[in-house]
Amino acid sequence: MQRQMQFSDVYPAARDTETSRAAAASVAPSAARVRSMVMNAIRASAHDGLTADEVAGRIGMSILTVRPRVSELGKAGAIVDAGIRRPNQSGRRAIVWRARA
């Protein structure tokens, strides 16, 4: 029986360029820890969820660190679009994410 993929198993995303692959390799040691922090913040947000910017604020990290981890969690199916939009720091509408039920 195949083991279900856990969000901690996800390797940081990278484009097919040397610099992108190098960047992914450099964050790989901390990416699982940051994903866990992101996941915990989203779970603790009750039923309405959080935007990536809101997660960054709650865990005290840069949006540039948090946003890729949110994307990875979304692609892994650990979090889902809550169907709600709220303005982010730039004033644009951002997806509100919630933990998969």
pLDDT at 15: 57
pTM here is 0.78
**Could you read off the pLDDT of 76-101 as tens digits, one per residue?**
999 999 999 999 999 999 999 999 98
pLDDT at 10: 54
pLDDT at 40: 96
> Cβ neighbours of residue 24 under 8 Å, at least 6 residues apart?
11, 12, 13, 14
Per the prediction, the chain carries an average pLDDT of 85
User: Cα torsion for 4, 7, 10, 13, to the nearest 10°?
Assistant: 130
10 or 47: which carries more pLDDT confidence?
Answer: 47
CA distance 59 to 35: 11
| CATH architecture classification, 17-99 | Orthogonal Bundle (1.10)
31 or 12: which carries more pLDDT confidence?
Answer: 31
Res. 1 pLDDT band, cuts 50 70 90? very low
CB atoms within 10 A of CB 8: 13
Query: Can you say how many angstroms the Cα of residue 32 is from the centroid of all Cα atoms in its chain?
Result: 10
CA distance 58 to 12: 22
Query: What residue segments make up the domains of the chain, in order of their start?
Result: 17-99
CA angle 66, 31, 98 (to 5 degrees): 50
